[in-house]
Copies of this chain bind each other. A is one copy, B any other.
Amino acid sequence: MSSSLEVIYSVRVEFGDCDPAGIVWFPNFFRWIDAASRHFFMQCGVPRWEETAKTLGVIGTPLVDTHTRFVASASYGDELSIATRVAEWRHKSFVQAYRVMRGETLILECEEVRIFGGRREDGSLCALPVPAEIARLCGREV
């Protein structure tokens, strides 16, 4: 089961995002990817995690696995767009996929496995079954 929904998140690269080689220091890409992930859910109409914590027990979408392929570098002044979608819905996790572009130039591709995180009674994190209403909002095709 995949999704056809794709949401764009746009980023201006700033001077301070770049390293002494003059290019984006790569951890900043993960900063933007995380924002794009959250932006995807917001655009789909999923409420803030404080809300879902109360209604569904979901406190966020912790990352389990991430695989990123860097194709071209970027620098300050660049305008990037991050196309985000859910590539796969699983029972207790989902695959979120990103393409970071500068115009027609592919900068990087990233594929993540995330879970819907809840808390056990002792406060520790656990993976909840993907909530049906969230998957539906995000365009899961049944």
Interface SS, A side: mixed
Chain B residues within 8 Å of A31, by CB: 14, 16, 27
Shortest distance from the beta carbon of A36 to any chain B beta carbon, whole Å: 10
Tell me, yes or no, whether A20 is within 8 Å of chain B by CB.
yes
Tell me, yes or no, whether A62 is within 8 Å of chain B by CB.
yes
Give the number of times this chain occurs in the complex, counting copies.
Answer: 4
Quick one: which of A82-135 are within 8 Å of B by CB?
117, 125
Give A142 to B67 CA distance when docked, in angstroms. 30
Q: Is A70 touching B60 in the complex (CB atoms < 8 A)?
A: no
Chain B residues within 8 Å of A73, by CB: 62, 125
Of all A-B residue pairs in the complex, the 4 with the closest CB atoms, nearest first, are A27-B30, A14-B35, A67-B67, A20-B22
Q: Which residues of A contact B (CB under 8 A)?
A: 12, 14-16, 18-23, 25-28, 30-31, 34-35, 38, 42, 48-49, 59-60, 62-70, 73, 76-77, 117, 125
